[in-house]
Chain A
Amino acid sequence: MKDNKNTPIWLKASAAYVSSLMSALFIFIALCAVDGLMKSGPSLFCSVWDPERGNFGILPMIWASGLLSLSSLITGWTFSVGCCCFIHGFGPRWAARFLANILRIMTAVPTVVYGFASVFLLVPLIRNGLGGSGFSWLTASIVLSLLIMPTMVLSMDSAFKTIEAQTSITSAALGFTREQNIAMVVLPASKQWIWSSALLGFGRAAGDTLIPTMLAGNAVQYANTPLDAMRTLTAHIGLVLSSDVGGTAYLSLFVAGGILLFVSISANILFRLMRKKIWMQG
């Protein structure tokens, strides 16, 4: 951005405020994470969480966070692309409008409502239908993918709308049907927005705390089947903070937080690079 002498002072002030706040946060977490790493060192990267004996293993939580966010992202993203195509011409008009409205309403539903409803509806269904306790990777993943869908669909949808408006007459004049225009013209042209909506979805999935805490069972273990319970980094931080463990256990949480921050920033950078590459290819 160019330096502009006419920028109002309040704009400069808020920019300075936000950037200093963000850097303070980053520096704080980084320092505490380094401190945690020094103090509890190798005991962090094992599989046992037993703070009273000095075992602060967070590997199972890292595993759980990765597994849960990626699985939710893949299902949620796939369904989002599908929903978008449905809204723009593959479905009947009334159904498309209905779906679009449902998705818009879904953005306004607080996360805790999803969790609460799932505890009473989805958990028993999975317990009785598939076995286990019902609090599992699968349960959390289903709800989380649902939770991240509206944001992804709406961001893809705005790209679809713009590109469809630009191309639909042209395509119609060349003998395309509306479906063909979506599949062959709009979808390829919105590539970069489709990827960046995956970035949005990943951010939400990796950072969500409430859904895994309420639905994933919170057992510190490596979940191997979808019906196993798991504890994500976010749920772990929340749970430990709300019970009264102190000292080094707290510092290990900063390591967990630092890892989350690192992952989401690298994902961000990665997606940006991909987007730029797609953009340069035209």
Chain B
Amino acid sequence: MALCAEIKNLSVSFHGRKAVSQVSAELPAEGISVLLGRSGSGKTTFLRALNRLNETFQGYEGSGKVCLSLGGKMKDIYSADQLTPTDLRRKVGMVFQIPNPLPMSIRRNIMLPLQLIPGFNRSKAEDRMETALKTTGLWEEVKDRLDTPANRFSGGQQQRLCLARTLALEPEILLLDEPTASLDKKSSELIEDYLISLKNRYSMVMVSHNIRQALKLGSFFIFLREGKIVTAISKKELPEGKEAEKIMSDLL
């Protein structure tokens, strides 16, 4: 089985308090891996370890090894000589729980991260923007309002913008931290559909609170409790239908 991530003895603490302790896991490259667990069980921290975002917080301390499959090779992302955090975060894109457009127009939200890549020209960035907005079904809705501040759009539109912004960087791995948690049912379903359509193109790791959503999207499930992995289970090992839901909720 091809892997997208290999995690060995990962521990993360903030201000001396353990958020994730001694976690080891192997995530498949195919399909969506879903992290499940109660609030405060370390799902977000685990996810942020994959793009080195934990270290931007105060009081961070971490140990262990994380290797990601990037450019066809397994790379140790915490070793200094392989990748800078900047390069890593462009290749490992992240979508957050609450839509987080930057305080600027839609156009600039997508173009600015691209323009900061050395040697990236403007017309290429425009093309990428259009493609990304089409991929998330936003193009028709916003193409006449590209210069409107992003925070004037609905929550669902903003979240699709954030997804588009991440996709425009052409990442190899997508991290999704409860991407539908702050949205209503209809917007959630829309996002879910786009994620399903993208799952053959990217390796994805997603946090979800919602077992039904996890079963609909995911093919590999990791259950966390108090910073430790309780079980890791693949969809093939689960029975069909209602029974799977019950097993999953028992594991939570």
Contact = CB atoms under 8 A, between A and B. Distances in A.
Q: Is B truly associated with A?
A: yes
Interface in B147-193: 148-149, 152, 165-166, 169
Name the prevailing secondary structure of the B interface residues.
Answer: mixed
A167 B102 contact: yes
Nearest to A170: B100
B169 A174 contact: yes
B56 A174 contact: no
Interface stretch (A7-15, A48-56, A129-137, A181-189): A181-189
Given A174-B166, A175-B89, A282-B105, 6 more contacts: A170-B96, A177-B86, A185-B104, A189-B104, A282-B148, A282-B149
Interface residues of A, number: 19
B33 interface: no
Interface of B: 51, 53, 56, 85-87, 89-90, 93-94, 96, 100, 102-105, 112-113, 116-117, 148-149, 152, 165-166, 169
A220 to B, nearest CB: 50
Interface in A166-201: 166-177, 180, 184-185, 188-189
A159 to B, nearest CB: 11
A163 interface: yes
B59 to A, nearest CB: 15
A201 B152 CA distance: 33
A24 to B, nearest CB: 43
A280 B76 CA distance: 47
Contact of A168 (B56, B116, B169): B56
A91 B87 CA distance: 23
A173 B102 CA distance: 12
B68 to A, nearest CB: 15
Contacts of B166: 174
B90 A175 contact: yes
